[in-house]
């Protein structure tokens, strides 16, 4: 049996920001391990430090205390094997879909070659946007723009995908559709995913595990396996044990003390 490796680990991680009114502690004593190719949703109230966890993993900031590691190495800077999808697609408005997707290559090497263009066509097709390669962001719907953002994150074929509430700005129907599209992408090409969300149904649909955080300063108050096999569909989400699990998550989110 193959040994499952840890892809992401937090050991005693704390994060404090300097503000005009004094120090603000966003995270306090976070210990968390995510195995390779595991899909973990991080659930918690606004301001609890969920996005800070993601940015620390991405190497976009350094922890005030503790250690954040990726594949056993401390994170000191952004890595090519870590892709990021933000709440907004943050596309270059003057660039086509294809040019937005290949932007990581242009940024890294200063050029885009035929191999890059072939890879871009592959990931654009994977997110369902074939035929839109020459469109500008202004010609796309919000859901399509977010698909471009996901394609760009997948372009360098990262082993780790960090997603910061990527569907929160979409309408309910588009959000549901994007959730199922993400499931198909992950099943076709498994990656380690840290998925930040406020949505209990979204967390239950997508994740292997759900990590629940307290209000600021963010601490982990629960780390639970989702009682649902794969593949998943709307019918499986209506199973009594899944409904009970979702209800338990709601209880945890309003609890004032950690539940062990």
Strand partners, 164: 196
- Lowest mean pLDDT segment, chosen from 21-25, 104-108, 218-222: 104-108
**Tokens at 22, concatenated:** 């004094």
Q: What is the DSSP string of 188-230?
A: HS--EEEEEES-HHHHHHH-SEEEEEPSSSB-EEEEEE-S--S
Buried b (16+ CB within 10 A) or exposed e, 103-133: bbbeeeeeebeeebbebbeebbebbbbeebb
**Tokens at 170, concatenated:** 């979409």
User: Which residue would you say has higher pLDDT here, 107 or 59?
Assistant: 59
pLDDT digits (tens, 9 = 90+) for 25-47: 999 999 999 999 999 999 999 88
pLDDT for position 233: 81
Query: Average pLDDT of 245-249?
Result: 95
Residue 3 has pLDDT above 60, yes or no: no
Closest CA to 104 of 154, 144, 166: 154
Domains defined along the chain, listed by start: 1-81+162-260 (3.40.50.300), 91-157 (no CATH)
pLDDT digits (tens, 9 = 90+) for 122-138: 999 989 999 999 999 99
pTM equals 0.91
Q: 82-85 and 160-164: which strand pairing?
A: parallel
- Residues 9 and 31: their CA atoms lie apart, in Å, by 7
């Amino acid at each position: 049996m193959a040994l499952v490796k840890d892809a992401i680990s937090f050991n005693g991680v704390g994060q404090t920001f300097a503000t005009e009114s004094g120090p603000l502690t966003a995270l306090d004593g976070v210990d968390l391990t995510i195995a390779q190719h595991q899909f973990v949703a991080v659930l918690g109230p606004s301001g609890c430090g969920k996005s800070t966890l993601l940015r620390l993993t991405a190497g976009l900031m350094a922890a005030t205390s503790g250690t954040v590691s990726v594949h056993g190495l401390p994170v000191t800077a952004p890595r090519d094997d870590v892709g990021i999808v933000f709440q907004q697609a943050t596309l270059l408005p003057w660039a086509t879909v294809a040019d937005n997707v290949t932007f990581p290559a242009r940024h890294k090497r200063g050029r885009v070659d035929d191999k890059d263009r072939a890879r871009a066509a592959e990931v654009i097709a994977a997110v369902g946007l074939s035929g839109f390669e020459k469109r500008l962001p202004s010609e796309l719907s919000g859901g399509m723009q977010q698909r471009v953002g996901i394609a760009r994150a997948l372009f360098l074929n990262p082993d780790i995908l960090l997603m910061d509430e990527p569907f929160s700005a979409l309408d309910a129907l588009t959000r549901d559709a994007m959730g199922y599209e993400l499931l198909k992408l992950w099943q076709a090409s498994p990656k380690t995913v840290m998925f930040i969300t406020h949505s209990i149904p979204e967390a239950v649909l997508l994740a292997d595990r759900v990590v629940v955080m307290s209000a600021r300063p963010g601490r982990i108050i629960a780390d639970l396996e989702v009682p649902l096999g794969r593949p998943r569909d709307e019918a499986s989400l209506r199973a009594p044990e899944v409904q009970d699990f979702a209800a338990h998550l709601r209880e945890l989110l309003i609890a004032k003390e950690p539940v062990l």
